[in-house]
Structure 1
Amino acid sequence: MLGRLRHQLLATAATATLLGGLLALGAAQPASGAVPATIPLKLTNNSGRADAVYVYNLGTNLATGQQGWADANGAFHAWPAGGNPPTPAPDASIPGPAAGQSKTIRMPKFSGRVYFSYGQKLDFRLTTGGLVQPAVQNPSDPNRNILFNWSEYTLNDSGLWLNSTQVDMFSAPYAVGVQRSDGTTINTGHLKSGGYNAVFNRLRAQSGGWAGLIQTRPDGTVLRALSPAYGLETGALPASVLDDYINRVWQKYATTTLTVTPFTDQPNTKYFGRVSGGVMNFTNSAGATVTSFQKPDASSVFGCHKLLDAPNDQVRGPISRTLCAGFNRSTLLTNPNQPDTSSASFYQDAITNHYARVIHDRMADGKAYAFAFDDVGNHESLVHDGDPQQAYLTLDPLN
């Protein structure tokens, strides 16, 4: 479910994303009142870089629905009115910790993002509709040559949901964590030793345009790898990059039934897909058609949208997110019962989401948000606790 709502943000992120109900699943939980108005976020700089670090806490105030930013003490500041063309946003930056140091700020009850940048402040703008996010797939974006990244979170009366994400790009590495009421800490997002450079090296070695996802500064400094959804947009990846696999899936299920069991807690809720006339129709256990899908293209698969749109309902959305995960992980040909949640079977076809493959392979715990519905089967890099004592964001080495 978190991935579904993360995906809804991605669908509008091409050039002028408005920060709204990010990770809104948290916001939908029943209130218990157990969580204080703010909790500490400990930022630790293990990057080894001498650059100054700038931190931003941007999001939606869950009490009012207003968009804005939080200062280091967790106080909320609403954005002023924007313009068209977009106008500069107020400077919401918080000085981050120096290399080898830590700094603690406060997180309010937000649904939003914690950005961090190295060496230079980010350039945020405001339109009449809200905040414009950085869109570095656009060569003219003012943040194109800045090394930065972000984490996503929701903090509300039911607890904290905090994740690392590579849905839009893989860049400056970091991990997230939460301290529970019993004093134990859980974390995710750390790369294996040498994992940062290994991701770029493996993309360079992968034929078919995958090396074109890598963005560098004019001096050659590597900044990030764009997601394949943006690789299609920029022309780095050919539009036909997944056609062979998609065609084989459509051919298989013209004569075989694809069984989707989308809810782990509802094993008897099943949907049955067959391709007829070029369309995959899904029926329920009573034989009634509940939804249909045109054959998707690579953009639909990588973005988990368009022809694989996933509304926030109880039928099409859950089926679509299962298909999206199966296409990205290339498990639909090897297993007619989906979702396939065993990571050993993921990315085994020559035609697959190689970006997601190499990122997961280099994660210390194997978990990542490398595409919007990477939470299918619980393979996402997420920490959650209903009574969080402290959150953590650790900036890791770029090696």
Structure 2
Amino acid sequence: MSTPRCDITALLGAVALVGALLTLGPPAGAAVPDAVPLTITNDSGRGEALYVYDPGTLLTTGQQGWADANGGFHAWPAGGNPPTPAPDASIPGPAAGRSTTIRIPRFSGRIYFSYGRKLVFQLTTGGLVQPAVQNPSDPNRDILFNWSEYTLDDSGLWLNSTQVDMFSAPYAVGVQRADGATVSTGHLKAGGYNGVLDALRGRSGGWANLIRTRSDDTVLRALSPLYGVETGALPATVMDDYVDRVRQKYTTTTLTVTPFADQPGTKYHGRVSGGVMNFTDASGAVVTGFRKPDAASVFGCHKLLVAPNDAVRGPISRTLCAGFNRSTLLIDPDQPDTTAANFHQDAVTNHYARAIHARTADGKAYTFAFDDVGQQESLVHDDVPHAGGACVRDVGQVVRISRSSRRCRR
């Protein structure tokens, strides 16, 4: 089978290179085991304690809980309103220069890690409330932390890094296969961490406001532009000029969307009329329509660009979302445009995504919900002999899963 590996490295403020190496994978065999080993190596050089967490949802029952260091599942107790403190699910991480191995179970979940302080998780009557650092009252807002997302199921392991919510202590993900070969993605170029922050600082229009520091001048994170708009750090009109030009273009030009790479014959044709971009199928029947999206809809791939998990509107919406964030809709009337050289060429674009992708070694990153359009995301997957698809879904209204988890791969 596999030994997936996730390297976490970052230059944080005046601190030296920060890193942790997570290695996980099931032993060779015909089926995925109930739990797989995960080795954490702390190469951060930081003196404070490292804490690790593995919250998730059992795929068989939908029950929420967390895993201990041995991969044992513990269901969350009932919460309250207002939320009540969750049990301490932290696993002691290794000191700088040390390693430790834990086990992770079959989950749709996350591997959190935090430096210096334990994360605060809470429970409502509906389930787990995870950290929400865009909220100025969130108890985790001054903690340096990050996470990796994964699903372990009958089809194997799906593991991705994510910057959908924030850019913080960066990390890469990889798979070391049975033959010893390693496939990895998401590594930053040399100087890439500070390069992303400098790119945001150098961009006018509020992009520098995404960067958050604490009182000791440690840079904790850059918020995603969605949260920038929601918190007022970015103006709500930040994408209006581009959106207006796109809408104007497609009043007289047809936008053709071919949402499935393996189904080139499935096409939808869009035109703007009466304030709505309507899409028709091959018969000419209108199958769905989109009103003018605001910046929050674009950056979040929700609201006016909501993408249900269906066969028509969802695939069209995710294609539009990628085109708006990458600013390719004026360049190419045939979407998706998966040529990376065409991305972010307009002055109005998702500069957060632009800065991160430009500074990853292979150009791959997960900077908005449908950054997987055209396989631009930092994702690795290790199959088992009875290979199949995997879908990571939102497990409930209360659980705050980053929007990169709200997609089914086709």
1:164 to partner: Cα distance: 0.3
Contact residue 147 and residue 223 of structure 1 kept, 8 A: yes
Question: 1:46 Cα deviation (Å)?
Answer: 2.4
| Pick aligned residue for 2:63 from 66, 72, 80 | 66
Partner SS for 2:31:
coil
Task: Tell me, yes or no, if the aligned pair for 1:259 and 1:336 is still in contact at 8 Å.
Answer: yes
Give me the whole-angstrom Cα distance separating, in 2, the residues matched to 1:44 and 1:90.
25
Q: Which residue of 1 aligns with 2:391?
A: none
Match of 2:334 in 1: 337
Residues 1:109 and 2:102 are matched in the alignment: no
Q: Which of 177, 182, 193 in structure 2 is aligned with 1:180?
A: 177
Which of 320, 326, 332 aligns to 1:323? It is 320
Deviations 1:72-120 (A, max 9, x none): 1111000000011111101000111222222221110000111000010
Q: What TM-score do you get using the length of structure 2 for normalisation?
A: 0.85
Alignment match, 1:235: 232
Q: Which residue of 1 aligns with 2:13?
A: none
Cα deviations by residue, 1:199-225 (Å, 9 ceiling, x for unpaired): 111100000000000111023221000
3-state SS of the aligned residue for 2:78?
Answer: coil
Which one-letter code corresponds to 1:378 in the other structure? Q
Among residues 11, 34, 38, which one is paired with 2:35 in the alignment? Answer: 38
Contact 1:33 1:158 in 2 (8 A): no
Tell me the residue number matched to 2:397: none
Q: Percent same amino acid at aligned positions?
A: 78
* Structure 2 counterpart of 1:368, from 360, 365, 370: 365
User: What is the rounded CA distance, in whole Å, between the counterparts of 1:89 and 1:209 in structure 2?
Assistant: 36
Relative contact order higher in (CA < 8 Å, ≥ 6 apart): 1
Report the counterpart of residue 25 of structure 2 in structure 1: none
Q: Is the 1:253–1:273 contact (alpha carbons within 8 Å) kept by the matching residues of 2?
A: yes
Q: Which digits, 9 at most, give the CA deviation of each residue in 1:28-78, with x for residues without a partner?
A: xxxx97111111112222222222110000000123221000011111000
- 1:156 corresponds, among 153, 156, 161, to 153
Secondary structure of the structure 1 residue equivalent to 2:157? strand
- More displaced stretch, 331-340 vs 34-43: 34-43
* Contact in 1 for aligned 2:200/2:355 (Cα 8 Å): yes
Deviations 1:252-288 (A, max 9, x none): 0000000000000000000000001111000001111
Q: How many residues in Structure 1 have an aligned counterpart in Structure 2?
A: 357
Alpha-carbon shift at residue 177 of structure 1 (Å): 1.9
Ranges of 4+ aligned residues in structure 1 off by more than 3 Å: none
Contact 1:125 1:131 in 2 (8 A): yes
Alignment of 1:211-290 (within 5 A): 211-290=208-287
Equivalence for 2:81 = 84
Tell me the SS of whatever aligns to 1:245.
helix
Which of 380, 384, 405 is the matching residue for 1:383? 380
Which residue is 1:144 aligned to? 141
Question: Deviation digits for residues 143-186 of structure 1, max 9, x if unmatched?
Answer: 01000001100001110000000000000111222222322222
Q: What amino acid maps onto 2:112 in structure 1?
A: Y
Which runs of no fewer than 5 residues in structure 1 stay unpaired? 1-31, 389-399
* 1:195 is aligned to 2:192: yes
1:205 to 186, 202, 217: 202
Matching residue of 1:396: none
Structure 2: any 5+ residue segments left out of the alignment?
1-28, 386-410
Question: What CA distance in whole angstroms lies between the structure 2 residues aligned with 1:60 and 1:180?
Answer: 26
Contact 2:30 2:384 in 1 (8 A): no
Contact 1:180 1:387 in 2 (8 A): no
Query: Which residue type is aligned with residue 133 of structure 1?
Result: Q
SS in 2 for 1:197: helix
Q: Partner residue of 2:348?
A: 351
SS in 1 for 2:272: strand
Deviation at 1:230, TM superposition (A): 0.2
Q: Distance in 1 between matches of 2:366 and 2:47?
A: 28
Within the alignment, does 1:93 sit opposite 2:98 as a pair? no
- Comparing 180-189 with 356-365, greater Cα deviation is found at 180-189
AA aligned opposite 2:180: G
Answering whether residue 140 of structure 2 is matched by residue 130 of structure 1, we say no
Taking the aligned partners of 2:39 and 2:184, their CA distance within structure 1 comes to 13
Aligned counterparts of 2:138 and 2:265: Cα–Cα separation in 1: 48
Q: Secondary structure at the match of 2:243?
A: helix
Aligned mates of 1:305, 1:247 — CA distance in 2: 18
Q: C-alpha separation between the residues in 2 aligned to 1:76 and 1:236?
A: 39
